[in-house]
Amino acid sequence: MSSLDIKHLNKSYGSVQVLHDINLEIPENAFVVFVGPSGCGKSTLLRSIAGLEEIDSGEIILEGRDVAKEAPVDRDFAMVFQSYALYPQMTVRDNIGFALSVAGRPKAEIHRKVDEVAQMLRLTEYLDRKPADLSGGQRQRVAIGRAILRSPKAFLFDEPLSNLDAELRVDMRLQIAELRRQMSATFIYVTHDQVEAMTLADQIVVLRAGRIEQVGSPMELYHHPANSFVASFIGSPKMNLLSVADLGLAGESAATLGVRPEHLSIGADGALEGTIAAIENLGPVSYAYVDVRGARVTVQLPPAHGFALEEAVKIGWADDALHRFDAEGRRI
Amino acid sequence: MHKIFSLSRKEQLAVQFILIAWACVVLIPLGVAVINSFKPNLGEVYRAPLALPSEWTWSNYAEAWVGANFGGYFLNSAIVSLSVVVIVCFCASTTAFVLVRMPFRGSALLFACFMIGVIIPIRLALAPLFTIVKGLGLLDTLTGLILVQSASMMPVAVFILTAFLKSVPSELEDAARMDGALPFQIYWRVVLPLIRPALATVALLSFVQAWNEYFLPLIFLQSSELYPLTLGIAEFRAQFSVQWHLMFAGILIMLAPTVIAFLLASRQFIEGLTQGGVKE
C-alpha cells in the first residue's frame, strides 16, 4: 500500500483551473520532488495535499483514509515554507514548541522535546533568540525543527532553500538529505531547482500547466524523458532539441532530435556545421555554444579544449545518444 | 537615508523659520495656560498674562479637582475612554482579521459599509441612534455612551487594521494552521502580536476621540453625575466664568491623560501609520 495516494485531484481559482486530474502514488518513506516552471501548479499541489488549499474534486488518501476534507492538522503533515514562516514575536524555543503548546501538552514535555530537536539541528545556543536575530540558514533550521517536533507522517517542503545564498543552499541540501536518513517519514519537496530535485529525490514529478508530465527516478527522467518538455527541463545545461526540418537532416523520421551536451562532440566528421558563439570554462568541464543554422547548440568540451570563439566546427554524435520526439513532443 | 533633494542654506533657514513659527502658534496658548494655572490669584492673570507667576502654586489644581467635582468627571471620562479603547481594539481587530483572512460572500459589502462610516459623520445618524439607544433603555447611562462612541470609532479602526493586516504575510497563519491552531488561537497568538503597532494607533485614536468627545455625551447623558470631563468643564465654566487661573488648571487636568497616552504610544503610533507602506 502506498503511503499517499492522490486520485483525480482538480483545483481551480475562480474560472482558472490550475490542477488537472492529478493522479499520483507516493510510496511510504519516499522522497518525492515536484518540479516544473513557475506557475505550473507544484506549490498549489503541495498546499492542496497539506490542506491549505481547498480542492474542487478528488481524493487524497493517506494510508487508506481520505483526508481531502480534513483540517491541515488532522492530516498529520508538517510543512516548511519558503519564507520560513517563523513567528517573529516568539523565541526559537516558542517557535519550535508552538504546535505542542497549541495542543495543550505539559510544559516539561514541550521543553524536553524542543531541546532534543534543537540538539539534532544544532540550534541549542539559539533557543532564546528571536528569528530576527538569526541568519537565513538558522531560520530555515528552526522551521525544519518546528516540523520535526510533530513527528508527522509526511514532511512537505515548499521551496525551502530558495531564499538562501548558493553556498548555504548546498549545506542545507546536505542537511535535508541527512534528516531524511534519520527520519522515518515521507518527504514531498517542491523546487524549481533541478539540481535539488536530482540530488534529493527518489522520485521526481515533473509538472507543466497543472498536469503531470512524467513521474520517475532522477536517472529515468534524465535518460528516458517522456517528452521534449521533460527532456529540456531535466539536466543542466539542458538537452539540445534540434528541429529535423530546420537542420535538414535527411532520412530522419522524428520531428525533433534531443541530444545532451555531453553526448555531442566536435570533430572532423560531424554532421552539423556551425560557429562557436560562446565558451564557458567552468573548471572541471567547459561548454561551447555553437550556432548551427539559426539554432544554438550546447556542446560539452573537455577542460583543456583549445577551441576559440568564431571558430568553425563540425558537431557529431553517437546514434544511441539520440532522443527522438514526434511533432507533439512525445517520445518515439 | 538617501536624500531625494537637498536644500540650500537659505532654504533650510526658511524651512526652519516656518516650522518654529508653527510650533510657537501651537505651543504659546498651551504655555500661557500652564503659566497662568500656577498663579496664586486672578489679579496676576489679568495684570500680566504672559509673565511667570510671582509664586508657583498647585492650589488651583486642587481647587478645580475638589471644588468642581473634577474627580467624578475624570472617573467618568476614564471609564468611558478605556472601555471604548478595549471594545474598539477587540471588535475592530477581530473584524479586520475576518475581513482580510476569511473572506466570505458579502464581506466586500461589509467592508464598504465600514468605509461609508469613515466618510459619513455619526452626527448625521443622530436621530435614529437616539431612538435605538432609548429603545434599549441605555439613555443616560455610561454603557449607552460607551457603545455609541465605540461604534463611531469602528470604521476608522477597521480601515487602519485591515490595511495593516494585509501587509502581514499569510504564510504565518498557514504555518499556525499546520501546527493545529484554531482561528481564535491564530488571531490571539499569531496575528494580534504582529499588528501591535496598528493596534496602538487605533487605541490612541480611540482614547483621544473618546476623551475629548463633547457632542455625544451631551446628547446621550442627562444626569450631571455621569458627565465626563468635557461636559464637566462646561459646568465649570458656568460656575467659575471669570476664574481664569482655575479654568486653566481644569483644562490642563483634562489634557494630561491624552498627552500621557500619546507619549506612551507615540513610537508604536508612528510605526502603525507608516508600516505596510513599503515592503521590507
pLDDT at position B270 is: 64
Task: Specify the pLDDT at position A47.
Answer: 95
**Residue B137 burial by CB count (10 A; 0-12/13-18/19+): exposed, middle or buried?**
exposed
ipTM, 2 decimals?
Answer: 0.83
Dist CA B203 CA B244 (whole Å): 33
Inter-chain CB proximity A79 and B174 less than 8 Å: yes
Which helix (H) or strand (E) segment is A80 a member of?
Answer: strand A77-80
d(Cα A197, Cα A217) in Å, to the nearest integer?
Answer: 10
Q: Is 60 exceeded by the pLDDT of residue B279? A: no
> Which of the four pLDDT bands, split at 50, 70 and 90, describes residue A246?
confident
Closest CA to B148 of B220, B251, B43, B254: B220
Chain-centre distance of CA A254, in angstroms?
29
Which pLDDT score is estimated for B259? 86
Span A59-93, pLDDT tens digits: 999 888 899 999 998 888 999 998 889 998 899 99
State the amino acid at position A251 in one-letter form: G
Give CA–CA dist B218/B211, Å, rounded: 13
Cα atoms found within 13 Å of the Cα of residue B83, Cβ hemisphere only: 16
Q: Which residue has the higher pLDDT, B40 or A45?
A: A45
B23 to chain A, minimum CA–CA distance in Å? 38
A49 Cα distance to chain centroid: 16
For B126, other C-beta atoms within 10 Å of its C-beta total 15
Bigger pLDDT: A221 vs A182: A221
Predicted pLDDT of residue A111: 94
Q: Are B76 and B227 in contact (CB under 8 A)?
A: yes
3-class secondary-structure state, position A19 = strand
For Cα atoms A24, A30, A33, give the angle at the middle one, nearest 5 degrees: 65
The CATH number of A244-325 is 2.40.50.140
Instruction: Tell whether the model's pLDDT for residue B130 goes beyond 80.
Output: yes
Q: What is the pLDDT of residue A180?
A: 87
Q: pLDDT above 70 covers what percent of chain A?
A: 99
**Is residue B82 classed exposed, middle or buried when 0-12, 13-18 and 19+ CB atoms within 10 A define those classes?**
middle
Gyration radius (Cα) of chain B, Å: 23
| A1 pLDDT above the threshold of 50 | no
Asked if the Cβ–Cβ distance from B177 to A146 is below 8 Å, we say no
- B277 pLDDT more than 80: no
- Alpha-carbon distance of B200 to B190, in angstroms, equals 17
Per-residue pLDDT at B272: 53
Is the backbone peptide bond immediately before A237 cis, with ω within 30 degrees of 0?
Answer: yes
Q: List, for residues A99-123, the tens digit of each pLDDT value.
A: 999 999 999 999 999 999 999 888 9
Q: Which residues of B touch A77 (CB under 8 A)?
A: 178
pLDDT band at B3 (very low <50, low <70, confident <90, very high): low
Cβ–Cβ below 8 Å for B178 and A77: yes
Res B33 pLDDT > 60: yes
pLDDT for the residue A181? 87
Q: State the DSSP H helix or E strand holding residue B280, giving kind and residue range, or none if neither.
A: none
A322 versus B279: the higher-pLDDT residue is A322
Summarize pLDDT for A186-204 with one digit per residue, the tens: 999 999 888 889 999 999 9
> What is the distance in angstroms between the Cα of B188 and the nearest Cα belonging to chain A?
12
State which amino acid sits at residue A320: D
Residue ranges covered by each domain of chain A:
4-232, 244-325
Q: What is the pLDDT of residues A261-273, one digit of tens each?
A: 999 988 878 888 8
**Residue contact A52–B178, C-beta within 8 A:** yes
Q: Which value, to the nearest 10 degrees, does the dihedral of the CA atoms of residues B35, B41, B46, B48 take?
A: -50
3-state DSSP call for residue A268? coil
Is pLDDT of A225 > 90?
yes
Closest A-chain CA to B192: A89
> A4-232 falls under which CATH superfamily?
P-loop containing nucleotide triphosphate hydrolases (3.40.50.300)
Q: Which residue in the block uniquely carries the three cell numbers 439613555?
A: B139
Work out the average pLDDT over B209-235: 89
DSSP B4: S
Question: Is residue B241 very low, low, confident or very high in pLDDT (cuts 50, 70, 90)?
Answer: low
Q: Any chain A CB within 8 A of the CB of B106?
A: no
pLDDT band at residue B2 using 50, 70 and 90 as cut-offs: low
Above 50 in pLDDT, residue B278? no
Does the structure show a pLDDT above 80 at B67? no
The chain-wide mean pLDDT, for chain B, equals 86
* Nearest residue of chain B to residue A100 (CA atoms): B179
Identify the contact set of chain A against chain B, taking CB-CB distances under 8 A. Answer: 47, 50-52, 71-73, 77-79, 81-83, 85-89, 98-99, 102-103, 146, 150
pLDDT for position B135 = 94
The domains located in chain B, with CATH, are 60-274 (1.10.3720.10)
Look at residue A240 in the predicted model and tell me its pLDDT.
92
pLDDT digits (tens, 9 = 90+) for A165-185: 888 888 888 888 988 888 888
- Helix and strand numbers, DSSP H then E, in chain A: 10, 18
Over range B148-153, report the average pLDDT: 94
* Nearest residue, CB atoms, A102 vs list B185, B193, B194: B185
When pLDDT is cut at 50, 70 and 90, the band that residue B273 belongs to is low
Q: Which three cell numbers stand for residue A113?
A: 522535546
DSSP H or E stretch at residue A186? strand A186-191
- The string of DSSP codes covering A153-175 is SEEEEESTTTTS-HHHHHHHHHH
Contact state of A52 with B181 under an 8 Å Cβ cutoff: no
Strand partners, A323: A258
Contact (CB<8Å) B179/A150: yes
- Is the preceding omega at residue A302 within 30 degrees of 0, hence cis? no
Place of cell 470631563: B229
- pLDDT of residue B144 exceeding 90, the answer is yes
Buried b (16+ CB within 10 A) or exposed e, A81-102: bbbbbbbebbbbbbbbbbbbbb
Q: What is the mean pLDDT of chain A?
A: 90
